[in-house]
């Protein structure tokens, strides 16, 4: 009886220790944002967190080439009050047939949302007066401090350098 009880306790402890809580997949569902004003709320937040907003599309080769850099950034800075948000500017009708499979296949780590606001000429100036809407584009912000880049990040080091420039402020 004593051996049976010990064996059951050992089995129970082994089972409990082998169970790991998986981190929640931020892209298990991808939100469709209808109006830029919801993104603007993130941009205008007055917190101390650094936010990296990358505007992209699966039909944009430079966007796809830089996605691994954003994956690495999100992973490296996940415990350092840095939020990375990838904002797809694709047609939400492609969400289930193309965007979800693409995100899964690419192993995208940061949260992905789809912005459905087609009034680009109205809201791109709010992101940056130098942006005319072409992709990719990235806005890194911390409170009122902003760093905008039109075009892709060729290397992770380039992206990290822009981020670190705001961390030091």
Helix (H, G, I), strand (E, B) or coil at 132: coil
pLDDT at 43: 85
Question: 87 is written with which tokens?
Answer: 């904002």
pLDDT band (50, 70, 90) for residue 116:
very high
Helix (H) or strand (E) holding 31: strand 31-33
β partners of residue 114:
32, 88
The mean pLDDT value of the chain amounts to 85
| Band of residue 105 on the pLDDT scale cut at 50, 70, 90 | very high
Predicted pLDDT of residue 23: 53
pLDDT tens for 128-148 read 999 988 999 999 999 888 999
pLDDT in tens, 22-69: 456 778 889 999 999 999 988 887 777 899 999 999 999 999 999 999
9 pLDDT higher than 50:
no
Q: What is the pLDDT of residues 86-100, one digit of tens each?
A: 999 999 999 999 999
Q: Which domains does the chain have, with CATH numbers?
A: 27-167 (3.40.30.10)
- What torsion do the CA atoms of 103, 162, 152, 34 make, to the nearest 10 degrees? 50
Other C-beta atoms closer than 10 Å to the C-beta of 57 total: 18
């Amino acid at each position: 009886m004593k051996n049976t009880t010990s064996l059951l306790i050992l089995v129970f402890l082994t089972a409990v220790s082998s169970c790991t809580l998986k981190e929640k997949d931020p892209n298990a569902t991808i939100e469709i944002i209808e109006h830029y004003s919801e993104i603007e709320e993130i941009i205008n937040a007055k917190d101390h967190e650094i936010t990296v907003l990358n505007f992209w599309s699966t039909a944009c080769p430079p966007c796809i080439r830089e996605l691994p850099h954003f994956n690495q950034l999100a992973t490296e800075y996940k415990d350092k009050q840095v939020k990375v948000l990838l904002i797809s500017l694709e047609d939400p009708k492609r969400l289930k047939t193309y965007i979800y499979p693409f995100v899964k296949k690419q192993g995208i780590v940061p949260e992905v949302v789809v912005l459905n606001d087609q009034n680009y000429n109205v809201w791109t100036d709010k992101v940056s007066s130098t942006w005319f809407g072409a992709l990719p584009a990235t806005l890194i912000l911390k409170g009122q401090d902003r760093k905008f880049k039109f075009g892709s990040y060729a290397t992770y080091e380039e992206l990290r350098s822009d981020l670190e420039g705001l961390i030091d402020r």
